[in-house]
Amino acid sequence: MRTFVLLGAVFGGVAVATGAFAAHALAPRVEPRMLEVFETAARYQMFHALALFAVAWVGQQTGARAARVAGWAFVLGIVLFSGSLYAMVFSGVRALGMITPLGGVAFVVGWAALAAAAWRMRASAP
């Protein structure tokens, strides 16, 4: 689970850096629609960087294999979803957007697996 904490921290830091880059350096160089695409990539990267911390916590609590599945699905989702959008903005090749839905599917798989792992957690007595 330490791997997911580390990856969450790295992906979170990169999301902050890319967001700042978009606001200060990229905005004057790309059309507004492509800036929105870039910001969407950074936002989803941050959401799923934070989700990796939840994966680590649930995985630590349960030892569920589903937590590891969730973590790797989130990592794959970040690479495919955010990565394809970043690449599309930088390269101008709009066809890269066809990869983005695969990342979205990985995110959905990650959330379902995280829910399955969380299901194994014992309810706390009131």
pLDDT tens digits for range 50-84: 999 999 999 999 999 999 999 999 999 999 999 99
CB atoms < 10 A from the CB of 51, how many? 23
pLDDT for the residue numbered 123:
57
Number of DSSP helices (H) and strands (E) in the chain, helices first:
5, 0
Domain ranges of the chain: 2-118
Compute the distance between CA of residue 39 and CA of residue 16 in angstroms, rounded to an integer.
10
Q: How far is CA 15 from CA 8, 39, 62, 94, 125, in A?
A: 10, 9, 29, 22, 38
3-state helix, strand, coil in the chain (%, to 5): 85, 0, 15
- Residue-wise pLDDT tens digits, 8-48: 999 999 999 999 998 888 888 999 999 999 999 999 999 99
**Phi–psi pair at 108, nearest 5 degrees:** -65, -45
